Amino acid sequence: MNLKGRSFLKLLDFTPEEIIYLVDLAEELKEKRKKGIKGDSLKGKNIALIFEKPSTRTRCAFTIGAQDEGATATYLAGSELQLGEKESIEDTARVLGRMFDGIEYRGFEQSFVEALAEYSGVPVWNGLTDQWHPTQCLATLLTLKENFGHVKGLKIVYLGDGRNNVANSLLVGCSKVGVNVAVAAPKELWPDEKLVETCKGFAQAAGSTVEVSDKLDVVEGADMLYTDVWFSMGEEKKEQERTKLALPYQVNAELMKRTGKSTTLFSHCLPANKGKEVTEDVFESEASVVFDEAENRLHTIKAIMVATLGD
């Protein structure tokens, strides 16, 4: 499959086959890395890493993934660029595109990463925006495949803030590849209705289901319970209000039992507020694959760069 020259901005842009291809490639690259085999598909390439929001996993994954394949990654803090302030995002894109072979962007506006892709002339990768977090979904899919041997027909339930970037990306990515996906959240925090309808269409084509509910019954039969913080970066003032709304959707031992499966996994995109969206005992339990997924950010991000920029 040829994805050369493509940008990775949101999973809506990719077919089910392309998404699975990236997951399979990530699995292959992970196996090679375990054996000490590193590639050179990005040899001589220069990659810009733009971060308007702080990051642990995304920054490390892009940096190490680039190095593993022979590229040089340059970190550019958003505060150090003229990004959309003294210089338009379009002009910034055209400058960076003449100096770099690929650009990663992690920030607020989806329109910024879209403009970078349109005007830079090089592959651009979305490391997170307020609307989407597509690399995280790929890491979730790889983690599911490693544990169950497949993804099609599995069931994942996302709990808590159902309208954030992780929930949006899981809805799209899972529904496209045939994973049954449900969101359990208070009605005030439900995902966008149009997005849900779009994903129901994807699910119908893939032979799976999409469900949004304020009832916890949806966890029954789940192969993975997934959650995230109840307030995203920049929303800290809403902590008290969100906690009151979302507390009934906390992932705890009782909720894990309600799935009716002893094999149910727990995951989280990190960083976690333990004792809030998930209890310490579940986070630290044998069912938790949180750090497997954190590691899988490296392998899936590397796969994205290799597939879209590599030789």
Q: Quick one: 150 and 186 in the same domain?
A: yes
Give dist(CA 170, CA 179) in Å, integer: 10
What's the confidence (pLDDT) of residue 235? 67
Q: Quick one: 59 and 176 in the same domain?
A: no
Q: What is the separation of C-alpha 96 from the centre of its chain, rounded to a whole number of angstroms? A: 25
160 confidence band (pLDDT: 50, 70, 90): very high
Q: Quick one: 38 and 60 in the same domain?
A: yes
240 in a labelled binding site: no
Residues marked as catalytic: 106, 133, 136, 228, 269, 297
Q: Quick one: 180 and 196 in the same domain?
A: yes
The mean predicted confidence, pLDDT, of the chain is: 96
Say if 300 falls within a structural domain.
yes
Are 266 and 287 in contact by the 8 Å Cβ rule? The answer is yes
Q: Quick one: 204 and 123 in the same domain?
A: no
- Number of helices and strands (H, E) in the chain? 11, 9
Are 107 and 52 in contact by the 8 Å Cβ rule? The answer is yes
3-class secondary-structure state, position 262: coil
Q: Quick one: 36 and 89 in the same domain?
A: yes
Q: Mean pLDDT throughout 278-296?
A: 98
What's the confidence (pLDDT) of residue 233? 61
Say if 45 falls within a structural domain.
yes
Q: Quick one: 37 and 126 in the same domain?
A: yes
Domain of residue 31 covers 11-132+296-309
238 confidence band (pLDDT: 50, 70, 90): confident
Say if 163 falls within a structural domain.
yes
142 in a labelled binding site: no
pLDDT tens digits along 196-217: 999 999 999 999 999 999 999 9
Give dist(CA 279, CA 262) in Å, integer: 18
Say if 4 falls within a structural domain.
no
CATH number for position 30: 3.40.50.1370
Say if 190 falls within a structural domain.
yes
Are 281 and 13 in contact by the 8 Å Cβ rule? The answer is no
Q: Let me know if 86 is exposed, middle or buried by CB neighbors in 10 A (0-12, 13-18, 19+).
A: exposed
Phi, psi (rounded to 5 degrees) for 228? -150, 170
Domain count, the chain: 2
pLDDT tens digits along 15-42: 999 999 999 999 999 999 999 999 999 9
Q: Quick one: 166 and 124 in the same domain?
A: no
199 in a labelled binding site: no
Spatial neighbors of 108 by CB under 8 A, at least 6 apart, are 52, 53, 129, 130, 234
270 in a labelled binding site: yes
Q: Quick one: 64 and 98 in the same domain?
A: yes
What's the confidence (pLDDT) of residue 80? 85
Q: Quick one: 141 and 268 in the same domain?
A: yes
Beta-strand pair 102-106/72-77? unpaired
56 in a labelled binding site: yes
Q: Mean pLDDT throughout 66-87?
A: 90
Say if 1 falls within a structural domain.
no
Say if 234 falls within a structural domain.
yes
Give dist(CA 163, CA 228) in Å, integer: 11
% of the chain exceeding 90 in pLDDT: 93
58 in a labelled binding site: yes
Say if 6 falls within a structural domain.
no
Q: Quick one: 121 and 148 in the same domain?
A: no
Q: Quick one: 105 and 215 in the same domain?
A: no
Give dist(CA 203, CA 245) in Å, integer: 29
81 confidence band (pLDDT: 50, 70, 90): confident
106 in a labelled binding site: yes
310 confidence band (pLDDT: 50, 70, 90): very high
110 in a labelled binding site: no
3-class secondary-structure state, position 284: coil
